[in-house]
């Protein structure tokens, strides 16, 4: 898949995007992110759609970094704790299963010190051939 620099989550050309910088280690992919006022849903609380976007993006990148071209078929999000505007988080994802045409990934948003779990995601990703 050819990267498009206009991706809302990771694109550098999109002036309204999140501009995530995604890194990889032996366990999966990760990024850090600080929520701003324009990510707000309810009063001083991060919008669930932005949280879901982060989980979706990292799940996809976990598969891409392993050489798969994928799109999200399903994303199940569990919101564990509200995230307030200004909070700086770590987002992590890893592939848990490869079934050929379907890839499964787990993702999570947590505090930088990994003591608070804010949200988790289970993604089913369809391989594009």
pLDDT by 10-residue block (mean), the chain, 129 residues: 80 94 96 97 97 98 96 98 98 98 98 98 96
Question: Taking a C-beta distance cutoff of 8 angstroms, is the pair 38, 47 a contact?
Answer: no
Q: What is the pLDDT of residues 77-105, one digit of tens each?
A: 999 999 999 999 999 999 999 999 999 99
The continuous run of DSSP H or E covering 113 comes out as: none
Given this model, what pLDDT does residue 64 score?
95
Given this model, what pLDDT does residue 4 score?
77
pTM of the model: 0.95
Cβ of 81: how many Cβ atoms within 10 Å? Answer: 12
Given this model, what pLDDT does residue 56 score?
98
Given this model, what pLDDT does residue 3 score?
62
E runs forming strands in 11-116: 23-24, 29-34, 70-79, 88-98, 102-111
* Mean pLDDT taken over the chain: 96
Question: Taking a C-beta distance cutoff of 8 angstroms, is the pair 101, 71 a contact?
Answer: no
C-alpha 8: how far from its chain's center?
12
Given this model, what pLDDT does residue 129 score?
86
Phi-psi region of 36 (alpha: psi -120 to 50; beta: other; left: phi over 0): beta
Alpha carbon distance, N-terminus to C-terminus of the chain: 9
């Amino acid at each position: 898949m050819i990267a498009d620099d206009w991706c809302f989550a990771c694109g550098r050309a999109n002036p309204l995007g999140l501009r995530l910088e995604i890194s990889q280690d032996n366990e999966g992919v990760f990024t850090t992110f600080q929520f701003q006022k324009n990510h707000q849903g309810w009063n001083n609380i991060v919008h669930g759609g932005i949280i879901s976007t982060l989980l979706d993006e990292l799940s996809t990148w976990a598969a891409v970094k392993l050489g798969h071209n994928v799109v999200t078929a399903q994303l199940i999000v569990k919101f564990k704790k509200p995230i307030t505007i200004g909070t700086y988080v770590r987002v992590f994802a890893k592939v848990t299963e490869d079934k050929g045409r379907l890839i499964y990934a787990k993702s999570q948003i947590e505090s930088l010190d990994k003591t608070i779990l804010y949200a988790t995601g289970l993604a089913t990703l369809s391989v594009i051939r």
